[in-house]
Structure 1
Amino acid sequence: MKYLIVLGDGMADKNIPELDNRTPLDYADTPAMDKYSKLSEIGMVRTVPEGMAPGSDTANLSVLGYNPREYYTGRSPLEALSIGVDMKPTDVALRCNIVTVSTDDLPYEEKTIIDHSSSEISTEDAAVLLEAVRKELETDIYKFYVGTSYRHLTIWDKGEVVELTPPHDVLGQVIGQYLPKTEALREMMKKSYDILSNHPINVERMKKGLNPANSIWFWGAGTRPALAPFVEKTGHTGAMISAVDLLKGIAVGADMKVVEVEGANGGLDTNYEGKADAAVEALLKDDLDFAYIHLEAPDEMGHQGSFERKVQAIENLDKRIIKRVTEQLEAAGTDFRMLVLPDHPTPVAIRTHVSDPVPYMLYDSTNKQSHTWNYNEKEAQESGNYIDKGYTIINHLFEK
């Protein structure tokens, strides 16, 4: 038996009037999920423990079987593992997004955050901009490291785990009250605007109608994590297929195989087929027990507030990942169990994460008992199946 998790980041949502008062997951054309849902267990799972922030960090740890209350030390330290930064016990890692703030003449504190991803900036462009920041702002205390797209890393020597606000939580708002209380962090953010606002890359981006990547934004502070190896915890070998450093960092910390897929970028135009094929190769050629396919696109489209693009991301997940993976496993005559779910909802109406339970679909290729359930939020709730401790759902996947 092989095991597979297909996770659509932020895929769950609320009913949207423009989608006939349905959710993007319910509205999307998803023939593969429709096919397998009739043979699956459908239900709801709480991936974010009560009282914890609804982030992809806590939620994906939970889905992988790690109780966030026990293992979570912050988001950025997990990304540091992926980038290859060896943190000292006294280091604090900070997420260093490159964001878009308004280009008006107002003081920095009175500017508005426009876009947390700077029009999904490429890693290549972001690396040039971060290098400009690094030359001006890096010291023995603060070091900057390139990540993926708009997601980068700062290591603070002998730092503090200070309270910081995620930029996607304050889209469209004046930033003053959300800036760090720590003066050094706040000043670096302000100076970054002066460094980046007229950078040649941003001049070109604005000519093309793209948002300028004109400020850094610190958040997600934390200390070095210590995850138990996945194989020791579950008894199964596993691989991670994701474009984002957070998920790759979790996998590094858990001693899972990290599979790099060319063209996987965390956006709507990611290499879906490459991710699907990488999972099949990990399961069949490498003979690993388990593969985790993480797709960032539904979450990004939720942050953008675009229900049309979120529907498209879900349809791509269905037709270009789930269909492709299952057809290959079936053609190989391989028995498998597949869990499909989001990590958390990212409703397009509010453009940020919420901690509500999410719908799951658990398919077993050896099960021939059919029913009429479809995979969406409404029917998952109506099923009556509910898993309160999200970090136990992986045990449910691995059950005989």
Structure 2
Amino acid sequence: MKYIVVLGDGMADEPLEELGGKTPLEYANTPKMDELSKMSEIGLINTIPQGMKPGSDTANLSVLGYDPKLYYTGRSPLEALSIGVDMKETDIAIRCNIVTISDDNKPYEEKTIIDHSSSEISTKDAAVLLEAVKEELANHEFSYYLGTSYRHLLIWDKGEVVELTPPHDVLGQVIGQYLPQDKALSAMMKKSYEILSKHPINIARKEKGLNPANSIWFWGAGTRPALSSFQEKNHKKGAMISAVDLLKGIAVGASMLNIEVEGANGTLETNYEGKALAAVDALTKQDYDFVYIHVEAPDEMGHQGSIERKVKAIEYLDQRVIKNVVDGLDAKKVDYRMIVLPDHPTPICVRTHTSDPVPYMLYDSTNIQNHTWNYNEAEAKKSGNYIENGHKTIDYLFSK
């Protein structure tokens, strides 16, 4: 038996008037999920422990079977693992986004945050901009590391875990009240605007109609993580397929294989087919028992507030990932159990994460069921199936 998680990051949502009272998941054209749902169990999972923030960090740890209350030490330390930073016990890791703030004559504190991803800036352009920041701001205390797209890392030597606000939580708001209380961190963010706002790359971006990547933004501070081995914990040989450093870092911490897929970039235009084919290959040719396929696009579209693009991301997940995984495994005559779910909702109406339970669909190729339901938030709730503790999801997947 083989096992798969297909995770559409932030896929769950709220009913939208623009979609006739349907959620993007209900509205999207998803023939493969519609077909599978008739043969599957559907229900709700609570992925966010009570009292914890609804981040992709806590939620994905939960889905992978790591209780965030026991294992979570912050988001950025997990990304540090992916980047290859060997953190000392005294190091603090902090996410360093390159964001877009309003390009006006107001003081920095009175500017507005426009875009947490700077129009999903390429890693190539971000590398040049981060290097400009490093040249002026890096020192023996603060070290900058390149990540992917807009997502980068700051290591603070002998620092402290300070309260910092995720940029995607305050889109459209004046930034003053959300700046770090720590004077050094706040000063670096302010200085970064002076460095980046007139950079040639940003002048060119504005000419192309793209958002300028004109400020760094710190958030997600934490200490060095200590995850146990996924294989030792579950007696399954596992692999991760993701374009984002957070998921890759979780895999490193859990001693799972990270499978690199060319063209996988965490955007709407990622290499969906490549991820699906890599998963089938790992399960059928490389003797892996479990593959976790993470697709970032629905979450990014939720943060952007784009209904059309979020619907498209869900349709791509259905037609270009799930269909290819199912067709590939069926062609190989492999027995498998596959669970499809989001990690958390990212509703268009708020453009950030919420803690509501998420819908899941569990398909077992050896136990075909007969239902009339479709996979979406409303019908998952009606099913009455509910997994209260998200970190037990993986045990449920492996339970047969």
TM-score band (shorter)? over 0.9
Where 2:103 maps in the other structure, the secondary structure is coil
Cα displacement (A) at 1:367:
1.2
In structure 1, the partner of 2:140 is 140
- For residue 291 of structure 1, give the secondary structure of its aligned residue in structure 2: strand
For residue 373 of structure 1, report the CA deviation from its aligned partner: 1.5
Distance in 2, Cα, partners of 1:185 & 1:68: 27
Residue 383 of structure 1 aligns with an amino acid whose one-letter code is: S
Q: Provide the C-alpha distance between the structure 1 equivalents of 2:389 and 2:232, rounded to a whole number of angstroms.
A: 20
Q: Determine helix, strand or coil for the equivalent of 1:88.
A: coil
Match status 1:379 vs 2:379: yes
Which letter does structure 2 place at the counterpart of 1:119?
S
In 1, the alpha carbon distance for the partners of 2:18 and 2:380 equals 22
Letter in 2 for 1:215: S
1:139-165 alpha-carbon deviations (Å, 9 max, x no partner) = 000000000000000000001000000
Offset at residue 399 of structure 1 (A): 1.1
Matched residues in 2 for 1:155 and 1:49: separation?
27
Partner SS for 1:395: helix
**Any idea what the Cα deviations from partners look like across 1:102-146, whole Å, max 9, x if unmatched?**
000000000000000000000000000000000000000000000
The aligned runs of 1:290-369 (5 Å cut-off) are 290-369=290-369
- Counterpart of 2:157 in structure 1 is 157
Could you say what secondary structure the match of 2:25 adopts?
helix
Q: Describe the SS at the equivalent of 2:44.
A: strand
1:330 aligned partner, one-letter code = D
Matched, 1:36 2:36: yes
Residue identity matched to 2:179 = L
TM-score (norm 1): 1.00
Q: Which residue of 2 aligns with 1:45?
A: 45
Question: Is the aligned partner of 1:213 residue 2:218?
Answer: no
Partner of 1:127: 127
Moved over 2 A (4+): none
| Count of residue pairs brought into register by the alignment | 400
The aligned counterpart of 1:173 is 173
Matches within 5 A, 1:6-85: 6-85=6-85
TM-score by length of structure 2 reads: 1.00
Q: Provide Cα deviations, 1:70-114, integer angstroms capped at 9, x if missing partner.
A: 000000000000000000000000000000000000000000000
CA distance in 2, matches of 1:359, 1:135: 46
Give the secondary-structure state (helix, strand or coil) at the position aligned to 1:265. Answer: coil
AA partner of residue 373 (structure 2): W
Q: State the AA in 2 paired with 1:127.
A: A
Superposed, which structure 2 residues align to 1:178-193 within 5 Å?
Answer: 178-193=178-193
Partner residue of 2:253? 253
Task: State the distance in 1 between where 2:396 and 2:52 align.
Answer: 23
* Structure 1 residues without counterparts, runs of 5 or longer: none
Shift of 1:369: 2.5
The residue aligned with 1:196 is 196
Work out the CA distance in 1 between the residues paired with 2:221 and 2:371.
46
For 2:290, the aligned partner's letter is F
SS for the counterpart of 1:146 is strand
SS at match of 2:114: strand
Structure 1 position 391, deviation (Å): 0.2
- How many angstroms does 1:199 deviate by? 0.2
CA distance in 1, matches of 2:371, 2:261: 36
Deviation, 1:20, is: 1.0
Partner of residue 98, structure 1: 98
Shift of residue 281 of structure 1? 1.1
Q: CA deviation at 1:364?
A: 0.1
Deviation string, structure 1 residues 331-351 (Cα, Å, up to 9, x no partner): 000010000000000001110
In the aligned structure 2, how far is the partner of 1:162 from the partner of 1:262? 36
Residue 286 (structure 1) aligns with? 286
Distance 1:148 1:51 in 2: 30
Instruction: Classify the secondary structure of the residue corresponding to 2:362.
Output: strand
- 1:223 is matched with 223
**SS at 2:21 equivalent:** coil
Which amino acid in 2 is paired with 1:245? Answer: D
Partner Cα separation in structure 2 for residue 43 and residue 233 of structure 1:
25
2:40 touches 2:368 (CA, 8 Å); kept in 1? no
Report the Cα distance in structure 1 between the residues aligned to 2:13 and 2:39, rounded to whole angstroms. Answer: 24
* Mapped partners of 1:368, 1:45: distance in 2: 21
Secondary structure of residue in 1 paired with 2:121: coil
Shift of 1:383: 0.3
Q: Residue type matched to 2:231 in 1?
A: V
**Offset at residue 368 of structure 1 (A):** 2.5
Distance, in Å, in 2 between the alignment partners of 1:368 and 1:269 is 33
Letter in 2 for 1:390: G
Aligned to 1:238: 238
Query: How much is the aligned-residue C-alpha RMSD, in angstroms?
Result: 0.4
